[in-house]
Amino acid sequence: MSIRMKRYKIIIILISMQYIVSGQIDRFKYIRPIIETSDTQVWQKIDLPIDLYSSINGTGSDIRIYQITINDTIERPYIFDGMVSQPSSKKTAFQLLNQTKTQKGRSFTFRLEEQVPINEIKLNLENRNFDWKVQLEGSHDQKSWATILDDYRIVALNVPTSKYRFTDLLFPTAKFEYYRITVLTDEEVKFQKATLSYKNKKEHNYLPIAISNTSLQINKEDKTTIINLNLKEYAPIDLIKINVNTNDDYYRPFNIEAVSDSSLVNKKWNYHYQNVYRGTLSSIEKNIFPVNGKMSKAWRITIKNHDNPPLVIETPLLRSRIRSLYTKTTSDGKSYLYYGNSEVRSPNYDLKYFKSMLNLSANKQELGKETINPLYTSQTKTPLINNKWWLWGLLVAVIIILGWASLNMIKGNSNKY
C-alpha cells in the first residue's frame, strides 16, 4: 500500500503544479514591449506614460516585468517610485538669544546649536489677527547680516466667517549660525515658539493633464463657487493650481473632491465624491495644492464666498508626477511590461529592503505601444473542489481504489485458509 500511496501523491502534485504554472502572464490583460534592453549590470529606468493608468488598477500593484527567452519566462524584480511622494523634514535645535524692540519693529534672534542648512521657519504667535511684513537675516558673527527675506508677509485672520493663518517663512536653503527675524510693526508681537527645519523636497518632473471640459457654477443661495473638471485621461493627479484673477486680497475656504464611484438610479448617473484636500485660497500664497496621486477623471472644487463677491477663477492646472520603474534585465530574449488585473497584490521583492542603498543612476528605456495580451483569459478558473466533473472523477477513483484494495484483502485472507 505504501508504494501505491506514493504514486497517488505524485499524481496530485503534478496536477497542482499544472495549475500553478498556468497562473502567470495569462493573468494580465495588457502588454507593452520594453525597447532597447541594455546590460544587466546597469539599472534601467522606465517612465510610465499617462495613457497606461487607465489600464492598471488604482495602486499599480498589477505591474509586472517578464523576460521571455527561448527556454524560459523570468519575472524581473523592480523598484517602483510609488504613487505618493512625501517630502522629508529635519528639525534643527536652536536657542532664542533675545527679543528686542527697534525702530523697525520687533526682532527675535536665534542661534543654531549646530550650523546646518535650513529653509523653513514656522512661527507660532499668540496674536489672533494681524497682517505684518517680516524681514529675515542671517549672520555668522552677529556683526554683518545678510538679507534672506525682505518684505515677506505673514497673516492671521480670526472672524466668525473665516479663519486663516500663514506664519511660515519659506526661503532658499541657507546656512548661518545666527538668524534674526524682524516683524515690521509697532504692535506687540506675542511670540510663543518657533520651529527651524530643513525640508528636503525631492525635485520631480511633472506632466500637464489635459482637461476635456470645465463648468463653473455660482450658487447665490449657498454663496459658493463650484468648478467641475472632466479630464481626457485617467491619471494620478499630484498638484492642482487654482488661478485667481484679481488684484485684491482674499481668503476663501475651499475643498477639492474627486469622483470615487458612481451609481445608476432611475436611469440617471449619480456621482460619489471623496474629499482629497481642504484649505484656504489666499492672495499671499501660490495656491498650488498637493492631492497625493489621487486617481480620477472627474474633479470638483468648491469655494465658499461668504458675503464676498465671487472670485474670477481661470481654468485650474493639473499636474501628474512622472513615475518610474527601476529594473535590471539581460540582453537574452525580450522583456515586456504586463499589467491589467484588479485582483492581484503587489509583488514582494527583496529590492524593497535595499531601496535607500541603491544608486539608481539608470539608463532610460522606452515602452512600446499597448496591445492585448494574446494569452490573457478573463474566465475565472473553477477550483477543482467546486468542479462537478472533478468531483465525479474523484468519487469514481475512490470507489475503484477501495474496491481494488478490498479484493486484495479478501484474496489475501483466502490464501491464509
Give the model confidence (pLDDT) of 378-388 as tens digits: 655 555 555 56
Q: What is the pLDDT of residue 22?
A: 39
Q: What is the pLDDT of residue 411?
A: 63
Question: How many other CB atoms are there within 10 angstroms of residue 127's CB atom?
Answer: 19
- DSSP E strands, 242-349: 251-265, 268-282, 288-304, 317-321, 324-327, 334-339
112 in helix, strand or coil?
Answer: strand
Q: What is the pLDDT of residue 364?
A: 83
* Burial class (CB within 10 angstroms; exposed 0-12, middle 13-18, buried 19+) of 257: buried
Written as tens digits, the pLDDT of the chain (417 aa) is 455 444 444 344 333 333 333 347 888 999 999 986 555 567 888 999 999 999 998 788 899 999 888 888 889 999 887 655 556 789 999 999 999 998 889 999 999 999 999 999 999 999 999 999 999 999 999 999 999 999 999 999 887 777 889 999 999 999 999 999 999 999 999 999 999 999 887 778 899 999 999 999 999 999 999 999 999 988 999 999 999 999 999 999 999 999 988 787 777 878 889 999 999 999 989 999 999 889 999 999 999 999 999 999 999 999 999 999 988 877 778 899 999 998 888 899 988 887 766 666 678 888 999 999 998 886 555 555 555 666 677 777 778 887 776 777 666 655 554
Start-to-end Cα distance in the chain:
22
Q: What is the pLDDT of residue 376?
A: 86
Q: For the chain, what is the radius of gyration of the CA atoms?
A: 32
Q: What is the pLDDT of residue 385?
A: 53
Four-CA torsion 326, 331, 334, 340, nearest 10 degrees = -10
Predicted TM-score of the model (pTM): 0.75
